Amino acid sequence: MYKVDLPPDPKEFAKIEARRNREEQRKSRIFDSKQRTIGLDTDALKAQIEEKKQRDADEKEWNAASDAEMLRQAKIMELLHLRQAQDRRAIEKADLDFRATQQLSQTRREFDLNDPDGLKKSLPARVGDGDERLGPSSLQLFHGEDLASADRKRQQAEQQKQWLQEQRAHERAVKEYEEYEKKCQDLQELQQTVHLRDLSAAEESRRQQLVLEAAEFNKSLAEVRAQQAQQAKVDELEANAREMLNLYHGDLLSENPNVATPALGGTVKVLSDRYKGMSEAERVQYRQAQLQQIEETQQRKKESVQENALYDQQNLLVGKTQLLLERQTQRQRQEILRQQMQENAALAAEQKARRELENKARNEIGSQFHEQFNKGSR
């Protein structure tokens, strides 16, 4: 694996920011006299706690899956490097075996010039009357005669044919080795591309699953709220109907003004169900009570709007944080892939230059080699 300098962990930074936000919210709850004296919505708090536990469990599961995937990828890369090293060692061993068995010093074309047993293998000064090594003074060989020219040309043709076959075999071996290396590189790049594509697909699937879960949760919450509102409306209609029925059958609509007068020894001033009307002072007092109730209702609505806005802002902040984390992870993955591609290109260029240098050193023949022939009778 390649060492890459990474920025601070975004997950750790997000956790620190979340702790700070929770601390600020806790301070606002503690120092709020109204909330401290009246109390909190325990059902909403329990729902928030359950939601946080579910998010923590999902995050833990996602981290475990990511760690397992990274370990699997590292293991695959290690196996690929090991296999490539084994193949390289096998090719080098085959080259050494070929040189030891096929490229012997006795099979070289210039071996006769450096043969240590050349004098032992040479012929004596005179083999017979037909010895072509004899000069004109021996009266055995005259100028213009070349009795062994046909045999010599045949041997030269066979030797050239053998050299050409050896050269072609060597070129075929080099070409096969280059094709094998290219196939190994293509296979490695293909495996890396497939793995990155699978990882991106898994991340996209996980993100879509989280979005679907959030949508389902919001939908269920909206349905519950709609059911509660519908039930409250039905209860209100039933209460109004009962009240209208009681008023119709009661003494409230009668013309007897003494109906609202309580009996002697009663603890109330008037009977509300038989009351016929209010005085001017009672109307003013009633109007003031209504205004106070309206003001309290508006204050409660304002607090509810502020709480909803704070909840939406928190959700928006969490979504932005997740989006930034995904973009940063994508950039890091692209940077790692780019570095790998650059290193592979540099290695390929180096191998190509080394092969060209080796081929040039092996196949290059200087002018001195050709000048050493046709200088004598031999």
- DSSP class of residue 262? P
Residues 273 and 251 sit within 8 Å (Cβ to Cβ)? yes
Q: Which residue has the tokens 């017979």?
A: 128
202: left (phi over 0), alpha (psi -120 to 50) or beta: alpha
Region 269-296 average pLDDT = 77
The residues, ordered by sequence, that sit 6+ positions from 121 with a Cβ below 8 Å of its Cβ are 115
> Rounded to an integer, what distance in angstroms lies between the CA atom of residue 117 and that of residue 103?
19
Q: In which residue are the tokens 């012997």 written? A: 104
pLDDT value of position 1: 44
pLDDT digits (tens, 9 = 90+) for 121-148: 777 666 655 677 776 666 655 556 565 6
Q: How far apart are CA 94 and CA 49, in angstroms?
A: 67
Lowest model confidence (mean pLDDT) among 5-19, 79-93, 135-149, 153-167: 135-149
What residues have CB less than 8 Å from 62, skipping those under 6 apart? 206
Q: What is the pLDDT of residue 90?
A: 92
* % of the chain residues with pLDDT over 70: 75
Give tens-digit pLDDT for 82-93.
999 999 999 999
Answer whether residue 119 shows pLDDT above 60: yes
For the chain, the C-alpha Rg in angstroms (whole number) is 50
Tokens 């956790």: give the residue. Answer: 15
Does the predicted model carry a pTM greater than 0.95? Answer: no
Confidence of residue 37 (pLDDT cuts 50, 70, 90): low
